Structure 1
Amino acid sequence: MFQVICIGSTSKDIFFPTKEGVVFDTPEDITAQKKITFELGAKYHIEDRFESVGGCAVNVACGLQRLNIQSSCYTVLGNDADGEWIENELKKEKVETNLIKKENCLSGLSAIVIDKNSGERIIFSNQEANERLNVTIAEILSFPWIAVSDPSGDWRDILKKVAETSAQTDAKISFTPRGKNIVEDAAAVYAFAGKTELFFVNKDEAIEIVNRIKGETIEADKINDEKFLLTELKKSGAKIVIITDGNRGAWVYDGLEFLHADAMKIEAVDSTGAGDAFFSGFSAGHIKGESLEESLKMGIANSSNVILYYGGKQGLLNSDAIEKKIKKIKIKKLN
């Protein structure tokens, strides 16, 4: 029996690593505190390029599958060569593909510029197929877990149907929104978070949600404080809130205790799939009944390994590898 249905975006990702960009700090922009520039009109030579299957639904499904959580992918592909390639990549990982929809359109495609100096990335994506995503409740009734990540299309309707399914079957929900969801309707994101078992956001997304929900100016030192953000997001009703912040690690709050784990100190090649790898690692631990501490360690270990490779799939850990890696991770209680 499949344990998790992963609903969300899918794409073929093409990576262009470069050292040509100039990175600079913009602390005055609270939701985009670093930016990168290139010379307008310039042409840059890229020595290597890399291709990988991508999109949150795919990355999470593959990550769960490697950790022995049987997963199915619910997404939309185009009837094109890229769509066929993506489906074959999923089958190699033993992810169930029966619920993938095919449309007469272009499959999702992302061009990803990697700053080789930092491992950070800028993503340019076309989401034609993903914008056609719709959910049929009857097709997801049998799953005890529903993972919603980066929903496109009529995403409010998708969240509504997932919530209805959960109310009907007691399925548990894990959720990570996309920036577009938050900008378009932070209230809808916040309301759906209240129905989740696991609510994942990065720090910029957490700040954006809290600012929009509170509808007032919040002092910079407060809005930058992870415990404040966790507390405000927990008020949604989410059972467990998780905030990630790149190489600063991740924070977790379940209403009883605040936990923090630093990211592992390694030189990143590409950070593209780090959030999805954390999502699948933490979720796998929680689904297996591990403690918050162990689940957090699994999320950190998985995300720290995936950034050693281009793409969100190659560096995903299996159960044996993650058990070895979590021994190096320390958890801090912040209460």
Structure 2
Amino acid sequence: MSRRFDVSVVGLYILDVLGRPVTAIPDGGNVDFIEEIRLTVAGTAGGTVVDLAKLGLNCQAVGAVGSDEKADFVINRMQQFGIDCTHMARLDGVETSATILNVRPNGERPALHCRGASDHFDVSDDMLGDVLDCRFFHLGGTGLLAKLDGAPTARLLKAAQEAGCVTTWDLVGAGPDTWQFVEPLLPHIDYFIPSIEEAEILSGITGVEENIQFFQSRGVKCPVLTLGADGSMVAMGDERIHVGVYDISVVDTTGCGDAFTAGFIAGLADGRSLEEAAHLGTASASLVASGLGSDAGIVDRAQTEAAMAAWRA
């Protein structure tokens, strides 16, 4: 069946304001000087859709921005990458979701976040036909999507599967209350792509294999756990595929998980094996880690493939 989009990316869209390197916040009204400040489209949906577009996939963004100058930047920037923004709602009276990130010299990034418009959007019935006109349906941002979290997300993922879409999922900021939003989603997720830390918070248990079995037993087809410096683990049935990290110099880890997701989806869209999809995810995340912001490093598919080949040589 022909689909209009390779990927529909639904969920959390954020404007990130990043500065580096930040070693401390100046006292009082004093000023310190840093090397770099950037604005980027970010979030578990926004960062992913930008990276997917850079990797050559035809994408639509589905989410919300506010009625402010931040919204103009987010929409305009995505359109520059060829992303369809027809279903990016502009909501009156609320701010665009945004984060200020003070990036430390070691790549850590303490954040200040304004929840904003992403808490106020939903996917209405009249949008479903367009939103599900895709090969892959990615939902990112569970936990910071107040109106969509829980049963509405479960219905949306179920509808995506019934429409023949491959469903992929990621969350943000797992906490003690997040499990109630996540549990109803699990039977409708083909590729479940959290970090091991997020998975452990959700499950309440520790260990990679233990979490794989926990989520498989609750309906997830393929858990894909990112393991930080230990790479990633992909689990399909009894098969376990571990892909290690590449030897890179880390500048900023903002958006690395979103980049991994984008590369992994791009690999699946190519028809690659799970191992090769995970390598493309790792290459995408490595490029993003080499610069400031969630869209740093990745230029296009050819450059990403070349970098991956060099790292694996």
Do they fold alike, i.e. is TM over 0.5? yes
Instruction: Pick the aligned partner of 1:16 from 4, 16, 19.
Output: 19
CA RMSD in angstroms, aligned pairs only: 2.1
Q: Per-residue displacement from partner, 1:266-325 (whole Å, max 9, x unpaired)?
A: 111110010000000001101221101100100100000011111111322522122223
Q: Which residue of 2 aligns with 1:51?
A: 39
1:95 has 2:83 as partner: yes
1:122 has 2:138 as partner: no
Letter aligned with residue 32 of structure 2 = H
8 A Cα contact 1:17 1:46, kept in partner = no
Q: Which residue of 2 aligns with 1:112?
A: 101
TM-superposed CA distance for 1:190, in Å, is: 3.1
8 A Cα contact 1:14 1:110, kept in partner = yes
1:324 has 2:306 as partner: yes
Structure 1 106/294 Cα, relative in aligned 2: closer, same or farther at 3 Å? same
What is the percent sequence identity of the aligned residues? 20
Q: Which range moved further: 251-260 or 292-301?
A: 251-260
Instruction: Pick the aligned partner of 1:161 from 155, 158, 169.
Output: 155
Paired with 1:14 and 1:40, the residues of 2 have a C-alpha distance of: 21
Instruction: Pick the aligned partner of 1:256 from 238, 245, 249.
Output: 238
Paired with 1:183 and 1:316, the residues of 2 have a C-alpha distance of: 34
Q: Which range moved further: 88-97 or 142-151?
A: 142-151
The equivalences for 1:201-220 within 5 A come to 201-211=194-204
Q: Secondary structure at the match of 1:309?
A: coil
Q: Which residue of 2 aligns with 1:278?
A: 260
8 A Cα contact 1:177 1:201, kept in partner = yes
8 A Cα contact 1:63 1:313, kept in partner = yes
1:144 has 2:135 as partner: yes
TM-superposed CA distance for 1:94, in Å, is: 0.3
Letter aligned with residue 226 of structure 1 = V
Structure 1 43/158 Cα, relative in aligned 2: closer, same or farther at 3 Å? farther
Q: Per-residue displacement from partner, 1:138-178 (whole Å, max 9, x unpaired)?
A: 42232232110013122114313313412541222100012
Letter aligned with residue 150 of structure 1 = G
8 A Cα contact 2:75 2:85, kept in partner = yes
8 A Cα contact 1:76 1:102, kept in partner = yes
Structure 1 80/188 Cα, relative in aligned 2: closer, same or farther at 3 Å? closer
Q: Which residue of 2 aligns with 1:307?
A: 289
Structure 1 portions without partners, runs of 5+: 22-37, 212-217, 331-335
Structure 1 170/137 Cα, relative in aligned 2: closer, same or farther at 3 Å? farther
Letter aligned with residue 176 of structure 1 = D
Structure 1 40/251 Cα, relative in aligned 2: closer, same or farther at 3 Å? farther
1:194 has 2:187 as partner: yes
Q: Secondary structure at the match of 1:194?
A: helix
Q: Which residue of 2 aligns with 1:26?
A: none
Matched pairs, number? 301
Instruction: Pick the aligned partner of 1:175 from 169, 180, 186.
Output: 169
TM-superposed CA distance for 1:231, in Å, is: 2.1
Q: Secondary structure at the match of 1:3?
A: strand
TM-superposed CA distance for 1:120, in Å, is: 1.8
Letter aligned with residue 218 of structure 2 = S
Q: Which residue of 2 aligns with 1:5?
A: 8
Letter aligned with residue 286 of structure 1 = L
Q: Secondary structure at the match of 1:323?
A: helix
Q: Which residue of 2 aligns with 1:28?
A: none
8 A Cα contact 1:252 1:259, kept in partner = yes
